[in-house]
């Protein structure tokens, strides 16, 4: 093989390697270059008996429930639940309740409802946080969804006080 062709082949291999490395970098770190992208979620809240319902109104990316942790904070303490997609897959209006956690003196239960029953967070799903004794009207609580692959909170959490 002539030297000219060898140079062309080496240049093509180097260009392809740089292209694929750049593409991988941007996919992994997000096109902003600030790290893996954290989806944002739009939520609303509504009082329910014994607590609050957090409605998912929209989400910016397709996200499995396996990638979500719900964190509840009262300004002093916090508790969290990891959601399992397998608990919310296989039919319509699937509801899964997760273990009671102690937040100060409150016993708090998280219930997740996946209306489409596909194991993915979507705009018709909702979370219900109930407490015994009831959430205090003197305390501000915050509930956020943590995107587990990066460990960061998803924009769109809610705050509430007792009902």
Domain parsing of the chain, residue ranges: 1-35, 41-160
At residue 126 the predicted structure's pLDDT band, cuts being 50, 70 and 90, is very high
143: pLDDT strictly greater than 90: yes
Given this model, what pLDDT does residue 27 score? Answer: 52
At residue 99 the predicted structure's pLDDT band, cuts being 50, 70 and 90, is very high
**Which residues have a Cβ under 8 Å from the Cβ of 144 and sit 6 or more positions away?**
70, 71, 73, 153, 154, 157
Question: Residue 109 in contact with residue 129, Cβ under 8 Å?
Answer: yes
The CATH number given to 41-160 is 2.60.40
Given this model, what pLDDT does residue 8 score? Answer: 65
**Model's pTM, two decimal places?**
0.76
What does the mean pLDDT of the chain come to?
Answer: 85
Mean pLDDT of 74-95: 91
Half-sphere exposure of 135 (CA within 13 A, CB side): 26
Given this model, what pLDDT does residue 136 score? Answer: 93
Given this model, what pLDDT does residue 161 score? Answer: 87
Given this model, what pLDDT does residue 79 score? Answer: 97
Question: Residue 136 in contact with residue 162, Cβ under 8 Å?
Answer: yes
At residue 64 the predicted structure's pLDDT band, cuts being 50, 70 and 90, is very high
């Amino acid at each position: 093989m002539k030297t000219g062709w060898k140079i062309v082949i080496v240049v093509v291999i180097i260009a392809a390697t740089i292209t694929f490395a750049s593409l991988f970098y941007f996919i992994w770190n997000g096109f902003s270059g600030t790290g893996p992208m954290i989806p944002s979620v739009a939520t609303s809240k509504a009082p329910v008996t014994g607590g609050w319902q957090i409605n998912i109104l929209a989400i910016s990316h397709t996200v499995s429930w396996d990638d979500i942790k719900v964190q509840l904070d009262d300004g002093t303490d916090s508790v969290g639940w990891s959601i399992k997609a397998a608990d919310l897959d296989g039919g319509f209006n699937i509801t899964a309740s997760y273990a009671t956690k102690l937040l100060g003196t409150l016993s708090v239960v998280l219930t997740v409802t996946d209306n489409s029953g596909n194991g993915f967070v979507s705009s018709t799903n909702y979370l219900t946080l109930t407490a015994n004794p009831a959430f205090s009207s003197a305390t501000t609580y915050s509930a956020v969804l943590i995107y587990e692959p990066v460990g960061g909170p998803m924009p769109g959490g809610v705050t509430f006080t007792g009902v």
